[in-house]
Copies of this chain bind each other. A is one copy, B any other.
Amino acid sequence: MLKEYFEDCKVGDRVVTPGRTITETDLVLFAAFSSDWNAIHTDREFAAQSPFGQRIAHGLLGLVTGFCLLSRGGWFHFWPASLVCITRLDKIRFLAPVFIGDTIRLDAEIVEMTRMREGNGLITSRMQVRNQRNEMVIAGRIQLQAGCRPADGCSDQGRQP
């Protein structure tokens, strides 16, 4: 069911997404976009001599691709279409490396909801990025602001299509 407003979510709502294989292409594209070309991500010779034995994905690459796997089922089957913006990231832990060829999934669950004044609410979700061996590679919390269901006659600008 498509969620429209803050009220359409509840603590305990959960989704486990399909997977995305992290490729050498992803490492190069992320290095380029971010300008983080550190050798552990982009130098095969150096990485082979490192404790990891091979190149590893940037931690932020795993965060971005992992958290955004929510798109795969349609964002608004988990968070509401009245989503305004991201407000916080907390206790993000990078627990294990993501290697080229690993396939990651996201396990997300709403763990806290707070109604604010002025027709908005805050939704906090627990996020766990797991690889193909079901090892947790990144975990943490994300908080978003979303609009509440408008009372009669109220404007409704924030609702995403």
**Chain A residues within CB distance 8 Å of chain B:** 1-2, 17-21, 23-26, 28-30, 32-40, 42-46, 49-51, 55-56, 58-60, 63-65, 67-69, 71-77, 83-94, 97, 101, 103, 132, 140, 157-158, 160-161
Contact = CB atoms under 8 A, between A and B. Distances in A.
Given A2-B73, A68-B36, A90-B92, A49 B19 contact: no
Given A21-B42, A28-B26, A64 B160 contact: no
13 contacts: A1-B1, A21-B43, A32-B32, A33-B33, A34-B64, A35-B37, A36-B68, A45-B103, A60-B64, A64-B64, A87-B94, A88-B92, A90-B91
B18 A39 contact: yes
Copies of this chain in its oligomeric complex: 6
A127 to B, nearest CB: 12
A2 to B, nearest CB: 7
Contacts of A42: 20-21
A72 B74 contact: yes
Contact of A43 (B29, B30, B103): B103
A36 B132 CA distance: 21
B93 A88 contact: yes
B33 A35 contact: no
A160 to B, nearest CB: 5
